[in-house]
Structure 1
Amino acid sequence: MRTVFLLWHSYPREDALDENDTEDKLVGVYSSAAEADAARLRKLRFEGFRDYPDNFQVSEMEIDKDAWSEGFVSSDTRPLIWWFVLALIALVASQVMRLHQHQAASWLLWDYVGRITALTILAAVPSARIAAFRTGGRQISLFEIVLWIVGICLLDRFVQLPQSSLNVAFPTTVLGAYPHPTRWLKAFDLFFGLALVAISEEVIFRRYIRLAFRPYLGDGIFAVLTTSVLFGAIHWWAGLGNVLSTATVGLFLMLMLRRSGVLWPVALAHYLLDLINFA
Structure 2
Amino acid sequence: MIPRTWPEAGLAFLLCLNAGLGEELFFRLALPLLTGQLTGSLIAGAALSTLLFGGMHWYQGLKGVLATTALGLIFMIRALNGTPLIWLMGFHALMDVVALFIRPALSGHFSRKTVRQPAVRPSS
TM-score (normalised: structure 2): 0.70
Q: Shift in Å at residue 277 of structure 1?
A: 1.5
Match of 1:256 among 71, 78, 91: 78
Q: Does 1:234 align with 2:56?
A: yes
> Equivalent residues in 2 for 1:1-279 (5 A)?
178-190=1-13, 192-215=14-37, 216=39, 218-220=41-43, 222-260=44-82, 262-278=84-100, 279=102
- Measured in 1, the distance between the counterparts of 2:4 and 2:33 equals 36
Question: What's the Cα RMSD here?
Answer: 1.9
| Structure with more relative contact order (C-alpha pairs < 8 Å, separation 6 or more) | 2
Partner of 2:115: none
After superposition, give the CA deviation of every residue in 1:16-35 in whole Å (9 maximum; x if it has no partner).
xxxxxxxxxxxxxxxxxxxx
Which letter does structure 2 place at the counterpart of 1:189?
Answer: A
Between structure 1 and structure 2, the one with the greater Rg is 1
Q: 1:217 to 1:205 in 2, by over 3 A?
A: farther
Which letter does structure 2 place at the counterpart of 1:184?
Answer: P
Which letter does structure 1 place at the counterpart of 2:9?
Answer: K
- Measured in 2, the distance between the counterparts of 1:209 and 1:179 equals 28
- Measured in 2, the distance between the counterparts of 1:245 and 1:217 equals 29
- Unaligned 5+ runs, structure 1: 1-177
Q: Shift in Å at residue 239 of structure 1?
A: 0.9
Q: 1:272 to 1:198 in 2, by over 3 A?
A: same
- Measured in 1, the distance between the counterparts of 2:84 and 2:3 equals 33
Which letter does structure 1 place at the counterpart of 2:97?
Answer: L
SS at match of 1:208: helix
- Is the contact made by 2:27 and 2:49 (CA closer than 8 Å) also made in structure 1? yes
SS at match of 1:213: helix
TM-score (normalised: structure 1): 0.33
- Unaligned 5+ runs, structure 2: 103-124
SS at match of 2:42: coil
Which letter does structure 2 place at the counterpart of 1:187?
Answer: G
SS at match of 2:81: helix
